[in-house]
Amino acid sequence: MEIQAYLRERRELVEAALARLMLSASGPFARHIEAMRYSLFSGGKRLRPILCLAAVDAVDGSEAARQGAMPPACALECIHTYSLIHDDLPAMDDDEFRRGKPTNHTVYGEAEAILAGDGLLTWAFELLSGKATAGLPEQARLAIIQCIARAAGPLGMVGGQSLDMLYQGRDAGYDVLHSIHKSKTGALICAAIEAGAIAAGASREQTRALHDYGAQVGLAFQIVDDLLDLESTMEELGKSVGKDVEAGKLTFPAIFGVETSHIMARDAVGAAQKALADFDEKADPLRALARYIVERRK
């Protein structure tokens, strides 16, 4: 399959769904919603929603199944966007550019950027529990909320970001690096796959296999992210580069060197492919996405 065409088509589906579901910037809270929309509609890769929908396809290739998973897919993107807004804050990574545009706090100020993040996070759960997901069984809706909240919460993404800040400029080994990235990036990517599996009514075996795929893809994604920060240019990446070294962050290339990190990323993607062994060609998009994740340039 042609991955670029696939990504473009899927990104357009996700953009359309986000545009349809997201609050419009009117009424008394117009400025707040505008700040949320600014970061949500700023040309992200939409990788988490795309992974979620591809997991649905692997289990149940019907259009109805894909439609049912679209609101959870959008909620994942809202949570990812909130995490970027908060990560970029002056008190955190202090970044001025993201996706080639000024960061949220640069445009709306620090207070509103904190609130825009809070708003996106909370709204994701409003979306997950509301009318938009009413077509899914109640048990599945609760399981999806649980899976996403856990992945985004104190033992997942937020905890990982906290650990990342805590270890800046400090020496630590692979176990800490692994904890950071498994939670900070891996958990939400894994939850995207799992939410798709739940929405599509996957069997226990399928769910386990997709979970393994998600864990490996999440790991590969983070290693490549660390490498891109080192090897890419700001024009390619749309955000400041070389920040990890500058901030003394614990990264894969910092611990293992560039060459070994590349090998580790490829190994993780190999393991991800292996996890899909029992799936038929409906999982081909997941297979292609795993390859894309190590080959991407941004």
Q: Minimum distance from CB of 278 to its own copies (Å)?
A: 29
272 neighbors 289 (Cβ within 8 angstroms): no
Q: For its own copies, which residue of 158, 230, 255, 258 counts as binding (CB under 8 A)?
A: 158
* Among the listed residues 42, 67, 129, 240, the single contact to its own copies using CB under 8 A: 129
Give least dist CB 22 to its own copies, A: 10
- Is residue 86 at the binding interface for its own copies, with CB under 8 A as the rule? yes
Does residue 19 interact with its own copies by CB under 8 A?
no
DSSP state of 242: S
Identify the residue among 14, 33, 54, 209 touching its own copies (CB under 8 A): 33
Owner of token pair 């759960």? 125
CB of 179 to its own copies, least distance (A): 4
**Size of interface with its own copies, in residues (CB under 8 A):** 54
Buried b (16+ CB within 10 A) or exposed e, 49-59: bbbbbbbbbbb
Tell me which residue of 268, 272, 237 sits closest to 54, measured CA to CA: 272
Integer angstrom CA distances of residue 139 from 71, 135, 207, 272, 279? 16, 12, 16, 28, 25
Sites for its own copies among residues 165-194 (CB under 8 A): 165-166, 176, 179, 183
Query: Is 89 a binder of its own copies (CB under 8 A)?
Result: yes
What are the CA-CA distances from residue 265 to residues 251, 252, 258 (Å)?
A: 13, 10, 11
243, 229 Cβ separation under 8 angstroms: yes
Interaction site with its own copies (CB under 8 A): 23, 27-29, 31-33, 35-36, 82, 86, 89, 91-92, 109-112, 114-115, 117-119, 121-123, 125-126, 128-130, 138-139, 141-143, 145-146, 149-150, 152-155, 158-159, 161-163, 165-166, 176, 179, 183
